[in-house]
């Protein structure tokens, strides 16, 4: 959850255009600090609006390029399928995380999966990551099991990770 979502009836929707992208306060700085600690920053995102025909892949990729220009993100990975497509990449399945780990040699047990939806937490758990749930109070269910940490804002979630990584005895 790097950018603000569009809320309709307390349900989250992604920005439809670059002009709707607003990065959460404190995210740029925290991501820069994570990069300085040696983290590879990969965004994994479900984009079912492409399968539903309400957005194009080109529009989503344009938003990702825009965000990549604002944030020190190494890679964006998107699932363009809908729930009924039974793909391995759509969260809560861990396919995007497992593929990224295989391609980049990532130790998932030493990695964090941060997100604002139950699907994010469950994908992270399935992949063996430390999970951080940003709980903005959406009108939907939360994760089935307790995440590694719960935060109310993206900045608070990233601050928790930074504090944990800087603590004595951390890898």
DSSP assignment letter at 129: -
For residue range 31-81, list pLDDT tens digits in order.
999 999 999 999 999 999 999 999 999 999 999 999 999 999 999 999 999
- Compute the average pLDDT of residues 112-117: 97
pTM listed for this prediction? 0.94
pLDDT at 95: 98
The whole-number pLDDT of residue 171 equals 52
CA atoms within 13 A of residue 33's CA, in its CB half-sphere: 15
Q: What size, in residues, is the chain? A: 171
Domains for the chain: give ranges and CATH numbers: 6-165 (3.40.50.1000)
What pLDDT score was predicted for residue 34?
Answer: 97
- Nearest-Å Rg of the Cα atoms of the chain is 15
């Amino acid at each position: 959850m790097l950018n603000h979502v569009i809320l309709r009836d307390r349900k989250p929707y992604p920005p439809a255009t670059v002009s709707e992208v607003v990065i959460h306060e404190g995210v740029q700085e925290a991501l820069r600090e994570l990069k300085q600690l040696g983290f590879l920053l990969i965004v994994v995102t479900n984009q079912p609006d492409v399968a539903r025909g309400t957005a194009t892949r080109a529009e989503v990729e344009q938003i990702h390029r825009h965000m990549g220009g604002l944030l020190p993100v190494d890679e964006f990975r998107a699932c363009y399928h809908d729930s009924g497509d039974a793909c391995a990449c759509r969260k809560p399945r861990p396919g995007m995380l497992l593929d990224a780990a295989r391609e980049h040699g990532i130790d998932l047990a030493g990695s964090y999966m941060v997100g604002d939806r139950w699907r994010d937490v469950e994908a992270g758990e399935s992949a063996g990551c430390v999970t951080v749930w940003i709980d903005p109070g959406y009108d939907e269910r939360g994760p089935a099991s307790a995440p590694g940490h719960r935060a109310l804002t993206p900045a608070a979630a990233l601050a928790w990770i930074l504090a944990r990584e800087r603590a004595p005895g951390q890898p």
